[in-house]
Amino acid sequence: MVRLCGGNELLAEVFKDFNCYGIPSGNTGAQMGGWFRKEIKTVDDLKGLKFRIGGFAGKVIGKLGVIPQQLAPGDIYPSLEKGTIDAAEWIGAYDDEKLGFYKIAPYYYYPGWWEGGANGHMVINLAKWNELPKIYQSVLTSAIREAASALTAKYDALNPPAMRRLLAGGAQLRGFSQEILEASYKAANETYAEMSATNPRFKKILDSMMAFRNDSYFWWQIAELPFDTFQIRMRAKS
């Protein structure tokens, strides 16, 4: 999808500045919103919250009064246990289960709006990439695409049973309130506007992404969303 909408070509300009070449290498799908030691019901509940959250998302959520914390995976559990942090996000049920967060921060929130479709990249030294014969570049690209497809399929298959195990183990599933989601959306767009005003490249990539996203949602409203919503309703009835 990144390739078809021209996104990979735009990202190539960014990678080139770091003497790199990037190939999309798999999407986790929508991630979870993280583990919290207490329930979060309103925007006010976020103020002063020490939240382990990665990278750019911390810049956005900081507008809501959250205090972002950057921690390595091995430091998250003991920090939650000691109360050094109040909450932590990671990936989703399958990965989160292995880290045992539910034992000390039982409230498991969704969705992880900052990673609604987190796509990784295989990053290769640009000079070395350019040295490869075209056939080798093609083989490598095909292999990475195959791995990308397998990664997404893996998460789709392994997250559901992992979620069931987490819930059976005491995790308390919660959805972020509409108030929190709308405030987060507003904060995100404010951040994008601020960055676009000073970073033309960011604006160029953002504009391209937004245009593609708007078209995608137009189509999903017609086909994907009604079908999935109907199937979920029927599943509940049966």
Predicted local confidence at residue 73, as pLDDT: 87
Q: Return the amino acid letter for 5.
A: C
How far apart (Å, rounded) are the C-alpha atoms in residues 40 and 174?
9
Predicted local confidence at residue 1, as pLDDT: 43
Beta bridge partners of 69: 52
Name the band, by pLDDT with cuts 50, 70 and 90, for residue 4.
low
Contact between 92 and 28 (Cβ < 8 Å)? yes
Residue 2 has pLDDT above 60, yes or no: no
The label of the residue with tokens 């880290």 reads: 99
Contact between 37 and 80 (Cβ < 8 Å)? yes
CATH topology assigned to domain 7-197: D-Maltodextrin-Binding Protein; domain 2 (3.40.190)
Cα distances from 97 to residues 100, 162, 170, in angstroms, run 5, 7, 12
Integer Rg of the chain from CA: 20
**Model confidence over 200-212: pLDDT tens digits?**
999 999 999 999 9
Predicted local confidence at residue 235, as pLDDT: 87
Predicted local confidence at residue 7, as pLDDT: 86
* CB-based contacts of 140, cutoff 8 Å, min separation 6: 23, 124, 132
Residue 3 has pLDDT above 60, yes or no: no
Residue 174 phi, psi (nearest 5): -140, 145
How far apart (Å, rounded) are the C-alpha atoms in residues 196 and 107?
35
Residue 171 has pLDDT above 60, yes or no: yes
Residue 125 has pLDDT above 90, yes or no: yes
